[in-house]
Amino acid sequence: MALAPRWKSALAKAIEKDGKAAVFQLASIDSATNTPRVRSHIHREFISAQATPSLPILVTTTDIRTPKAAQILSNPTIETVFWVEANQEQYRIIGNASVIPTPLHPYHAQFDPFRGPALTALEREGIDWEAKRTQIFDSMSGHMKASWCRPPPGIKLEGGYEEAKKWPQKLPTFSDVESEEDKNILELALSNFALVVIDPFEVDFVELGIVPNQRTKFTRQEGNWVEEIVVP
């Protein structure tokens, strides 16, 4: 059975060694204006089906109310880039992205669980996305969780920062909830929280920490990755 691809092992190791390497940038297209958009994200985990360890999916999270959710729905091919300062490594990962909100959100009907082969394999093994979404949400810091019960990100902040001081700054975990009010706020935050999963099909891995520099292009073919050495 095919093993995890070399780019995935290297990236996972870099993130394990230094949490700062988990920050990456995700680029999408705003179709309305035909402009590229890009913002920083935090990588949460790799998942792969037991049947296809060579096909890892990248999991990150978002607020379902941000423009990128609509952008990804309208054009699911995205590119992400990880710059690992400590190793002088760059990983550019092109893939199909899917947004997975609460099943109650209208966007949920547009989630295609068979968009790519890795997603399809996970679906066949019966992955419970709603359980995964809740688990990742609950594992986040109280401060992060509080960010999903604010007004929609990017809209004008009526009342300025004085208004912002009134927002909850920290939410508990579900097991630590003590009041009905806390529970409602937590449910509100969870209702705005969505997973973004990326099923990669091309990876450009540049290693600038070694001389001569190395660069490898990985292309997914029939459940395996073909490597080509290219000019850095």
List strand residue ranges (DSSP E) for 71-133, in order.
77-84, 89-100
Are 216 and 45 contacting, i.e. CB atoms less than 8 angstroms apart? no
Of 103, 124, 141, 152, the one binding a second copy (CB under 8 A) is 152
Which structure tokens are listed for 116?
């790519």
Write the DSSP symbol of residue 154: T
Q: Considering the complex, what minimum distance in angstroms separates the CB of residue 54 from a second copy? A: 23
Closest C-alpha to 86, from 20, 133, 29, 132 = 20
Distances (CA, A) of 214 to 75, 85, 142, 219: 32, 16, 41, 17
Residue 221 as a binder of a second copy (CB under 8 A): the answer is: no
31 or 139: whose CB is closer to a second copy? 31
User: Which residue is associated with the tokens 């004008």?
Assistant: 156
81 or 127: whose CB is closer to a second copy? 81
9 or 75: whose CB is closer to a second copy? 75
56 or 76: whose CB is closer to a second copy? 76
Binding site for a second copy (CB under 8 A): 20, 23, 25, 27-29, 33-40, 75, 77-81, 83, 85, 90, 92, 94, 143, 147, 150-157, 160-161, 164-165, 167, 169, 204, 211-215, 217, 228-232
